[in-house]
Every structure is written in structure tokens, then in C-alpha cells.
Structure 1
Amino acid sequence: MLIACCLLLCVDVFPTGSSLSDQVDQNPADMYKKPGEKAQVNCSHNIPSYNTILWYRQQLPGEGMKQIVFTIPDYEPGFNEEKFPVTKPDAVSGTLTVKDLVAEDKALYFCLSAPQ
């Protein structure tokens, strides 16, 4: 019997009343992983003067967003670099990895692109 942890990853710009969200690319939109595996989601955008990428998690429908990391290495309480490593190779892209998946990691993950 296969036991899997469902990890839905969703990456988007927070609503701003404009169409900037269509300038953000997510890869992949969702994924399913087994416990113990890792999940990796990439975020990129083409919004001029936006050079910051922030990561958020929403675990339950209707629950508020919880910020994972503001800037490397400034992680929010409850999150750490070993479990949620983030890379940002340039101003327009970044990657969030969630390591050693457990059932509690099932959530929606969002990236936010913003000016610095």
C-alpha cells in the first residue's frame, strides 16, 4: 500500500487590483510527494523594479497566510532554513524547497513579488 503526502504548491502574486499576477510564473503548479521526500517550487516574474521574492504558506482553507521567510536568513518563527531552504539567484527568480515532508507540510505555498 502506498501512503502519500499531498503537497499542493501554488505560487502567485498577492492581489493588488492590477493584472501584475499574470506576470508571475509558477513551476510546478501542484505536486504530490511521499513522506520523507522534498518538494521544490520555483517563482519568477518580469515586473520591472520588483526585486524581492517572499514566501508564504496557507495550511487550511480560510486560514491566513503565514510568512516563511522575509529575506535570507530572516525566517519567521516556526520556520527554519534546514526545513525550508530558499534560494534567490537573481532579482526576478527564487526557489523554495520543503525538505523531509510530513503530513503537516500539506498546504498552499505562495510567492510574493514586491519592490524592495
Structure 2
Amino acid sequence: MLIAVCCITLNVILVSGNRMEHVMFDLFLDQVHQTPADMFKQPGEEAKITCIHTISTFDRILWYKQTNIQLQLLGYMVGDSEFPEKTGEEETVKIEGNANKDKNCTLTIEGLKLNSSAVYFCAARLHSATYCRGTLRTTNHPGYVHPGLNTSNYSDSCVGPVAVFKLKNMDIIKHCLLILLLWITGEIYPQHYSL
């Protein structure tokens, strides 16, 4: 099975930034959206990240947090039922909304800490692999402004079920390859949840 994935980097002080798309065939181009793309927050504040898809057969949205090369499932939503995971972190994670087509599914992280900085992925399930990426940085310097991502386009193809990449930054390529590797090996799925 294939997954459509969006992500956001949580590093706390929020700023809108770039997003990148990863397309499986041209059928699912631009059908999974995550906003905002980048965000910067102060410690103690909350961050809200919204995911929406336009794929009629999809009814599941999963949320992941990536720090370094480790992925952590934060929880998922099936239809309008939320299933948050116990994260063991000090901040509180809430998943609200609806995972069906054209509905908003929102991940809220309350009580942000400096260690909340990470890449956050929204994944919609079945036959797509569309990725969005954003950045949320936690900093003690309220005047800090994120320089943004490189906006030059990059295209590539790979072996296996995913055919085309449309990328905006070499760093994003590394994240996509990691996600593809985890997806192909089956390690991206939570143990108790079969797709």
C-alpha cells in the first residue's frame, strides 16, 4: 500500500515557508496539503498544523515526528475518530478534525519545548506519496527570522513504486529517501495498525 505524506519541521518561532511535493505518477499531484509549511514559536506556546487531502478513498491521516533519523508516531485519525499515541514528552499532543476527503485534520502541540524542534509529517493513506515539508523552530530569541528553503526545482526518478520527485532543496531529498526506505521496509507503519 502507498501513503501520501506531508511534514512540518518543529523548531519553535513560526514563519510560513516553502513546501515540496513528492508525486506518485501524476494522478495524486497536489492532493495532500499541510499548512503552515514552516513555523517558529516560543517555548510554552502551542503549534497547530493542519492536513487536508482531496482523495475520495482516503479516510486515514497519520502524524509523525522526525528528529534526526528517528520517526515517532504521534497518533492518527480514522474518519472523525482520533487515536493519539502516548509520546512520553512534556508537551501535549492533540489530533482533531476529520481524515476524510476535503476535511481538516489538525495536530496541536501544546507547551512547546526546545526539544519540540523536529520535522512533522502528515500522512494520508492509500495510493499516493505526496509530501509537504515545513519547519517549526523553538528559540529563545524572538527576533530570529528563518532564511527559508532554496526555491530552485529539482527532478529525479527512482526505482520502485515512486516515479517522480519535484523537490526544492537537497535536504528535502534526504528526507524523502528516508521516508521511501522506511515505507518500502514497512518500518513507517505503527506496529499495531495494519494498512
TM over 0.5: same fold? Answer: yes
Q: Can you give the 5+ residue segments of structure 2 that lack an aligned partner in the other structure?
A: 1-10, 127-194
TM-score by length of 2: 0.46
**Could you give the per-residue CA deviations for residues 14-54 of structure 1, whole angstroms, max 9, x where no partner exists?**
x6743425211121001000000000010001012011111
The 2-side partners of 1:88 and 1:76 are apart by 16
Alignment match of 1:57 (pick from 62, 65, 68): 65
Q: What does residue range 1-116 of structure 1 map to in structure 2 within 5 Å?
A: 5-6=12-13, 17-19=24-26, 20=28, 22-60=30-68, 63-71=69-77, 72-78=81-87, 83-89=92-98, 91-92=100-101, 93-115=104-126
TM-score by length of 1: 0.74
Q: Can you give the 5+ residue segments of structure 1 that lack an aligned partner in the other structure?
A: none
Paired amino acid for 1:98: I
SS of 1:104's equivalent in the other structure is helix
- How many residue pairs match? The answer is 109
The 1-side partners of 2:64 and 2:106 are apart by 12
Aligned CA distance change for structure 1 residues 88 and 21 (closer, same or farther; 3 Å):
farther
User: Which runs of at least 4 in structure 1 moved beyond 2 Å after TM superposition?
Assistant: 4-13, 15-21, 70-80
Higher relative contact order (Cα pairs below 8 Å, separated by 6+ residues): 1
Paired amino acid for 2:118: A
Aligned CA distance change for structure 1 residues 102 and 110 (closer, same or farther; 3 Å):
same
Q: Rg: which structure is higher?
A: 2
The 2-side partners of 1:31 and 1:103 are apart by 13
